[in-house]
Amino acid sequence: MRFETRAIHEGQKPDPVTGSVITPVYQTSTFEQDAIGVHRGYEYSRTGNPTRAALEEAVASLEGGEYGLAFASGQAATTAVLSLLKTGDHVVAGDDLYGGTWRLFERVFKKWGLETSYADVDDANAFEKAIRPNTKLIWVESPTNPLLKIVDIENLSTVASKNQLLLVVDNTFASPYFQRPLELGADIVVHSTTKYLGGHSDIIGGALVTSRKRVHEVLKYYQNAAGSVPGPWDSWLVLRGVKTLAIRMREHEKNATFLAEFLEVHPKVSKVYYPGLPSSEYHLLARKQMSGFSGMISIELAGGLPGVERFVSRLEVFTLAESLGGVESLVCHPARMTHSSIGERERRRRGISDNLVRLSVGIENKEDLREDLERALGEV
């Protein structure tokens, strides 16, 4: 079956007990056992819950993977992956990363003795050069946050398998509709389901998908042992979002392409970061490994911080808020919002200037979005 059909049906058969067409919210902490140690597949909702299981099966299918696991947040999913490692291990991570992922590496796991170095995602050899005898894992996002760089996943998977490392790809920005890292050779896919998979800005959640049985077993053990699982209600909301992922992603992309073309020639905009633009240095690679360019655009405004402040305050349809991937358009200032935790010097080094503004393009009417940007740019 094809993507759109799997999004609606995979893991979501009518309820075997009542025939309910929609997977019920199994709002229960525990399950009756027929005799001591004899149960019907579920014992306790931290270990497993049918609503969560439906979500896990659906997301695994969309990523083209064997096994899915749902978590209470994207960060909980990331923490689960890092639990595969031990003190003294080393990670090579791409140098353009979600600020919270960087914070986990540097402020949480470093003191447990996990070392991380950061490779320039624009340099094909940087990852290989950063590998040490104790390296266990490569971690990248593509497209990256917030500069929307594209990383060659197939290339990295060759480096990873040659050196017997796990390749982990955070696929949050592309969603499985536009990119399936496992098919490009990645070992584990990470999602913040808070974003496009949920799609409606109403829950916090995360997911992991892998086709490696042993890796899945360790992650599943961790999921139950550490317990950062989503509740049935949140799982249900993500599952509901997933059903419309394909049509939402097509609209996000259509609107983003339209706005990126408008912004590219606007005199108040000094740079547009969008891999869908033919002028983007990442365009050809994006075409190769993705089937579309998603709905995230970053721009640099002429006019410095005061210009940025005027711009965001004049927007009416775009809402100033962190997060992305919902049906509504959002605007954020990475330097002082999503990426403030990485510090000014490190931000400068990575090219996250105070002029940078990130847009999560929603699925409103594209002319309303263009008019909103045009009006606000007039004030920059």
Ligand X SMILES: *Cc1c(COP(=O)(O)O)cnc(C)c1O
- 201: contact with ligand X by CB under 6 A: no
Q: Does residue 170 interact with ligand X by CB under 6 A? A: yes
Tell me the closest approach of the beta carbon of residue 270 to ligand X, in angstroms. 25
Q: Which residues contact 30 (CB under 8 A, 6 or more apart)?
A: 43, 44, 45
Burial class (CB in 10 A: 0-12, 13-18, 19+), 88: exposed
The residue within the footprint of ligand X, chosen from 63, 96, 128, 141 (CB under 6 A), is 141
Question: Is 334 among the residues that bind ligand X (CB under 6 A)?
Answer: no
The footprint of ligand X on this chain (CB under 6 A) covers a number of residues equal to 16
* Residue 261: Cβ-neighbour burial (10 angstroms; 0-12, 13-18, 19+): middle
The residue number whose beta carbon is nearest to ligand X equals 74
CA distance 35 to 201: 42
For ligand X, the closer of residues 141 and 354 by Cβ is 141
Instruction: By CB under 6 A, name the one of 49, 73, 289, 329 that touches ligand X.
Output: 73
Please identify which of the residues 52, 195, 248, 268 carries the catalytic annotation: 195
* Binding of ligand X by 337 (CB under 6 A): no
Q: Check if 222 is active-site.
A: no
Q: Which residue among 204, 218, 305, 337 contacts ligand X (CB under 6 A)?
A: 204
Q: Is 235 in the site for ligand X (CB under 6 A)?
A: no
Buried b (16+ CB within 10 A) or exposed e, 123-150: eeebbbebbeeebbbbbbbbbbbbbbbb
Q: Is 75 in the site for ligand X (CB under 6 A)?
A: yes
Are 210 and 182 within 8 A, CB to CB?
yes
Structure tokens at 67: 């096994």
From the list 276, 274, 329, the residue with the least C-alpha distance to 300 is 274
Tell me the window of 26-34, 179-187, 188-196, 261-269 that interacts with ligand X (CB under 6 A).
Answer: 188-196
Set 95, 96, 152, 170: catalytic member? 170
Please tell me which residue in 15, 46, 122, 314 is annotated as part of the active site: 46
User: Among 127, 121, 159, which residue's Cα sits nearest to residue 141?
Assistant: 121
Interface residue with ligand X, options 179, 194, 223, 360 (CB under 6 A): 194
Determine the Cα–Cα distance for residues 95 and 119; give it in Å rounded to an integer. 5
Candidates 146, 206, 326, 362: give the one binding ligand X (CB under 6 A).
206
Binding span for ligand X by CB under 6 A among 93-101, 229-237, 342-350, 371-379: 93-101
- The alpha carbon of residue 192 and the mean position of all alpha carbons in its chain are separated, in whole angstroms, by 5
Quick check: 195 binds ligand X (CB under 6 A)? yes
Identify the CA nearest to 168 among candidates 231, 229, 105. Answer: 105
Residue from 49, 135, 192, 210 that binds ligand X (CB under 6 A)? 192
d(CA 321, CA 316): 13
Q: Which is nearer to ligand X, 50 or 230 (CB)?
A: 230
Q: What are phi and psi of 92, to 5 degrees?
A: -105, 120
Beta carbons within 8 Å of 192's beta carbon, 6+ residues apart: 73, 74, 75, 77, 98, 170, 172, 205, 206
Name which of 62 and 97 has its Cβ closer to ligand X.
97
Q: Which two tokens stand for residue 286?
A: 């994006």
Q: How far is the CB of 164 from ligand X (least distance, A)?
A: 26
The answer to whether residue 46 is catalytic is: yes
Listing DSSP states for 270-284 in one string gives EEEE-TTSTTSTTHH
Contact with ligand X (CB under 6 A): which of 61, 145, 211, 360? 145
98 binds ligand X per the rule CB under 6 A: yes
When asked if residue 95 is in the footprint of ligand X (CB under 6 A), the reply is no
In whole angstroms, the minimum distance from the beta carbon of 72 to ligand X comes to 8
Asked if residue 294 lies in contact with residue 174, where contact means CB atoms within 8 angstroms, the answer is yes
The answer to whether residue 310 is catalytic is: no
At its nearest, how many Å lie between ligand X and the CB of residue 60? 18
**From CA 122, how far away is CA 133, in angstroms rounded?**
23
CB of 235 to ligand X, least distance (A): 14
Q: Which residues bind ligand X (CB under 6 A)?
A: 73-75, 98, 100-101, 141, 145, 170, 172-173, 192, 194-195, 204, 206
- By annotation, the residues acting in catalysis are 46, 98, 170, 195
